[in-house]
């Protein structure tokens, strides 16, 4: 019987070197679907959740809905760029 390999964490914290934050921690903290844990999709789900919360918060604080969506998109795009950079670095670190 083969021993299963440990699950790989893809959350942005793990990609940046945090060995303590497990994907399931992120799923539980943000209320994400458990199926995104241990897949690269975890960051997309987290970014989308934060985008939605940002839009709602900006609107609740009086911002025009279109401006709220635009500002939330700026933050989401920055988060996506951070994830891409971390993923690229991981790939380079493991190249032989």
Per-residue pLDDT tens digits for 58-88:
999 999 999 999 999 999 999 999 999 998 8
Task: Report how many domains make up the chain.
Answer: 1
Does 21 map to a domain?
A: yes
Does 6 map to a domain?
A: no
Q: CA 22 → CA 9, 10, 11, 17, 76, distances in Å?
A: 6, 9, 8, 12, 22
Q: CA 89 → CA 10, 15, 83, distances in Å?
A: 13, 9, 10
DSSP summary character for residue 1: -
State how far the Cα of 38 lies from the Cα of 10, in Å rounded to an integer. Answer: 6
Confidence (pTM)? 0.84
Does 7 map to a domain?
A: no
Does 22 map to a domain?
A: yes
Give percent helix, percent strand, percent coil of the chain, each to the nearest 5. 65, 0, 35
Does 64 map to a domain?
A: yes
Does 2 map to a domain?
A: no
Residue 53: domain span: 12-93
Structure tokens at 22: 């497990």
The mean pLDDT of the chain is 90
């Amino acid at each position: 019987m083969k021993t299963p390999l440990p699950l790989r964490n893809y959350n942005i914290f793990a990609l940046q070197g945090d060995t303590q934050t497990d994907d399931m921690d992120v799923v539980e903290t943000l209320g994400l679907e458990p199926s995104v844990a241990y897949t690269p999709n975890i960051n997309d789900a987290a970014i989308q959740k934060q985008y939605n919360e940002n839009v709602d918060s900006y609107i609740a604080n009086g911002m025009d809905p279109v401006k709220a969506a635009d500002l939330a998109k700026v933050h989401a795009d920055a988060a996506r760029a951070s994830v891409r950079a971390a993923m690229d670095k991981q790939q380079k670190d493991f190249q032989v």
